[in-house]
Structure 1
Amino acid sequence: MMKKPTVMRKVQAEIRGIIGKKQMLDEDDVQNLPYLKAVVKETFRLYPALPLLVPRETIAKCTIDGYEIQPETLVYVNAWGIARDPEYWENPDEFLPERFLNSTLDVNGQDFHLIPFGAGR
């Protein structure tokens, strides 16, 4: 956030608005911090912990994006590439937390274009 002082100020203001006179945030307070949650999602999108997800091995012959894949082939998912794909993201290389403010996308692996931690087993 040091490179985006405007974003940092928005997060600070949102947190200060929730804290009020309290000393610390409670876990329950996080649900009332939509901009902070958007910043976290955008950070995971641009900087996934594992750019290449854990490889999977096919158990049967299958087709992926038009390519025929044989059984027992290791398949790697490029989470970094997906997260920067202009087919899914407008201005994909820009840090824009606002893209998540009115979005149901989450990092839990249900949305293919946002899978910083993978999507199942």
Structure 2
Amino acid sequence: MEAPSWAVLAFTWLASIALFHYLTTTLHRRLRKQKYPPGPKPWPIIGNLNLVGSNPHQSFHHLSKKYGDIMQLKFGSFPVVVVSSPEMAREILQTHGETFASRPATAAGKYTSYNYSDMTWLLTEITGV
């Protein structure tokens, strides 16, 4: 028998490190269970986009009847939190207002919210951030 070459040893070493990293991060995720708002189970690639119809406000209203005033949806691979009651929105903006005020001003916001004058950008204008 011939001794293994350096390439086989290097590949084995890298594979074992990758496997160890995968197992430790998976275990860490299971132990660190974060509490997320309730919501429907997303599809693998499209998320919950199939639940949003031609009238999104009506779709969100029907979903809020089932999952509550605050729910988490996935649009593609991006998690989105939907709040459907004024009391809950007020509480979230009071406790996490700085997070929402520090959003970057993108071209999409300029053209979809009438030059940042929509309700979405109101907090940014008030705080001056």
Report the structure number with the largest CA radius of gyration: 2
TM-score (norm 2): 0.24
Higher helix share: 2
TM-score (norm 1): 0.25
Indicate the structure whose relative CO is greater, using CA pairs within 8 Å and at least 6 residues apart.
Answer: 1
